[in-house]
Amino acid sequence: MDESSILFEGRVERVAYPIVVTGPSGAGKTSICKGIVGDCPDVAYSVSATTRPRREDEVTGRDYHFVDEDRFRELMGAGELLEWAEVHGRLYGTPRFSVVPFLESGKKVIMDIDVQGGASMRKVFPDGVFVFVIPPSMRILEERLRNRGTESEEVLRTRLRNAREETRSWRQYDYLIVNDELDVALDRLKSIIAAEDSRLRRLIPGS
Ligand code: 5GP
- Written as one string, the DSSP assignment of 14-68 is ----EEEEE-STTSSHHHHHHHHHHH-TTEEE-PEEE-SPPPTT--BTTTEEE--
Superfamily of domain 3-46+106-198: P-loop containing nucleotide triphosphate hydrolases (3.40.50.300)
Question: What are the pLDDT digits (tens) for 42-54?
Answer: 999 999 999 999 9
Residue-level pLDDT at 26 = 84
Whether pLDDT at 6 is above 80: no
63 ligand 1 Cβ < 6 A: no
87 ligand 1 Cβ < 6 A: yes
Domain boundaries, the chain: 3-46+106-198
Helix (H, G, I), strand (E, B) or coil at 86: strand
Question: What are the pLDDT digits (tens) for 109-138?
Answer: 999 999 999 999 999 999 999 999 999 998
Bridge partners (DSSP) of residue 65 are 49
Rg value, the chain, Cα: 18
Residue type, 131: V
pTM (2 d.p.): 0.92
Whether pLDDT at 5 is above 80: no
Choice from 57, 113, 115, 150 to test ligand 1 binding pocket (greatest atom count within 8 A of CB):
113
23 ligand 1 Cβ < 6 A: no
Of all residues in the chain, the percent with pLDDT exceeding 90 is 71
29 ligand 1 Cβ < 6 A: yes
Residue-level pLDDT at 205 = 76
